[in-house]
Structure 1
Amino acid sequence: MTSSPYFAPTGGHPPQTQLLTDRAVFTDAYAVIPKGTMRDIVTSFLPFWTGTRLWVLSRPLSGFAETFSQYIMEVQPGGGSETPETDPEAEAVLFVVEGTLTLTIAGDVHVMEPGGYAYLPPALDWRAHNESQQPVRFHWVRKAYDKVAGLDAPQAFVTNEKDMTPNEMPGTEGKWATTRFVDPSDLRHDMHVNIVTFEPGAVIPFAETHVMEHGLYVLEGKAVYRLNQDWVEVEAGDYMWLRAFCPQACYAGGPGKFRYLLYKDVNRHMKLR
């Protein structure tokens, strides 16, 4: 099995002797879904997928975060789909955290290993299968593409984060960096899914307060995160879900790097009706 530095859930159930107390919380401004909540009993299934289950981390909720959904897919050997997406307006990002995914786009075959990243525009002919001998687990971020007259939809692409050069945040000496898979100046894209990396001891030194909604899945490490008025501890496998304008900051305590997969909506006018 291809080794992976990223956390991926495997399900199961805790023993009857385990205490109920956990770090899960849902507020008006944010939610924290700890890795320990991703058990067998909360999995879902999808039409036209075989040998597959998923954990739904987020979905549009009126009055909360409304632009996207995010799944962790678990596909067994031989499983997958010839018709993975049933919404012709949905775009997607796939990010592999464990195993090997065979992705076919308009007849072209891509073998995606951990760190593998694919952008899939709406109405695309694509298929996904597990042709390996071990389960594959990957994130699937979906958004209804916000069309703009005069701008074409982006093209599909497949890459791996190991082939990308992280962009250092100014004035941080590389302690805070973002791996961007899309050029921020490419206004065809209405969402970005990036990887953010903090070295031990690095911080977000102010309370970011902005219009973008976020989904943050912790790939590696641990940190203390400021969400609205609260400090919460998070670690690899945890998920944070933030509505627009929720203040946010971070302190990466180490001992290793703190890294997360980050969704945000970008590059469009605010809807007025």
Structure 2
Amino acid sequence: MGYLNNNTGYISDLLASRSIIKRGNYALITPDGLVKNIIPGFENCDVTILSTPKLGATFVDYLVTLHQDGGNNIGFGGDGVETFVYVIDGAIKARAGEQSFTLTQGGYLYCPPDTAMTFINNHSQDSRLFLYKRRYIPANGHKAHIVSGNVNQLERIEYEGMSDVILQDLLPKDLGFDMNMHILSFTPGASHGYIETHVQEHGAYILSGQGVYNLDNEWIPVKQGDYIFMGAYSLQAGYGVGRGEAFSYIYSKDCNRDVEI
């Protein structure tokens, strides 16, 4: 195990961190202090585990750097666990059952719970991935299926009628799916229309820009490379700041299911 940013040895300042952990409520996890995890099946990879049930999430998020020929060839997910991979940068070759996919920056692949995913770095430079898994919740008469695409070909939707907030839906609005992945982008100065409160959880990786996020009524500065966990009923909203670059993040959302009691 080592640090993801490869900073080692003595520091020249006080020990400090922007990270905040409120288990079951919310978390801000910054790149500094993240560690590399050794996980069976991942070869020549730096794997960092982000949200897990230990934090209060019903899913697991990972940040994965694939070095040359790095990947997972034994299978990720399946046996009731759905998976999703998004290419932050680089290029990978992925498989879902008998289907193969070449995914470049912005490319993604969803595998339903009966299909394991494999992937390998597809070029000599490192590739970085945002990886997700969750135990699938079935619904009678409905079934999820393999989905692949690239955000550069997706519709850009004005979020709730706001032209400076753009939403992209990565998965179909279909009752076969118990979750979705979205990308939300704010031009500097744009914001949510209100502070949200809902039962859905989110795991969000910030792809670009800077923002200020309301997490349980605490306004917290965030930026590219940060990760946010938002638990059920955690108050949440954000707005973009900075100069020119959009504040953009990819995030998961559980959906399309009733609450069990």
TMscore range, shorter length: over 0.9
1:187 corresponds, among 139, 154, 175, to 175
AA aligned to 2:252 is Y
- In structure 1, the residue matched to 2:5 is 11
SS in 2 for 1:58: coil
AA aligned to 1:257 is A
**Structure 2: distance between partners of 1:101 and 1:167:** 28
- In structure 1, list runs of 5 or more residues that go unmatched: 1-8
**Structure 2: distance between partners of 1:82 and 1:67:** 25
AA aligned to 1:56 is I
**Structure 2: distance between partners of 1:189 and 1:108:** 20
Larger CA deviation: 88-97 vs 121-130: 121-130
Give deviations 1:62-88, integer Å, cap 9, x for gaps: xx6332110011221112222132551
SS in 1 for 2:7: coil
AA aligned to 1:157 is V
1:35 Cα deviation from its structure 2 partner: 2.0
1:37 Cα deviation from its structure 2 partner: 2.6
Report runs of 4+ in structure 1 exceeding 3 Å deviation: none
**Structure 2: distance between partners of 1:86 and 1:264:** 18
**Structure 2: distance between partners of 1:36 and 1:125:** 32
SS in 2 for 1:13: coil
2:19 corresponds, among 12, 19, 24, to 24
Distance 1:66 1:142, change over 3 A: same
TM-score by length of 1: 0.88
TM-score by length of 2: 0.92
- In structure 2, list runs of 5 or more residues that go unmatched: none
- In structure 1, the residue matched to 2:217 is 229
- In structure 1, the residue matched to 2:39 is 46
Question: What percentage of aligned pairs have identical amino acids?
Answer: 28
**Structure 1: distance between partners of 2:200 and 2:247:** 22
1:171 corresponds, among 161, 170, 184, to 161
2:248 corresponds, among 259, 263, 266, to 259
- In structure 1, the residue matched to 2:69 is 78
**Structure 1: distance between partners of 2:111 and 2:18:** 34
Check whether the contact 1:65–1:244 (CA below 8 A) recurs between aligned residues. no
1:138 corresponds, among 126, 129, 139, to 129
Matching of residues 88-237 of structure 1 within 5 Å: 88-152=79-143, 154-172=144-162, 174-184=163-173, 186-237=174-225
1:197 Cα deviation from its structure 2 partner: 0.7
Check whether the contact 1:57–1:71 (CA below 8 A) recurs between aligned residues. yes
AA aligned to 2:29 is I
Distance 1:13 1:121, change over 3 A: same
Distance 1:271 1:198, change over 3 A: same
Distance 1:199 1:23, change over 3 A: same
AA aligned to 1:238 is D
1:116 Cα deviation from its structure 2 partner: 0.7
SS in 2 for 1:244: coil
Give deviations 1:75-107, integer Å, cap 9, x for gaps: 211122221325511101100012111112333
Check whether the contact 1:199–1:254 (CA below 8 A) recurs between aligned residues. no
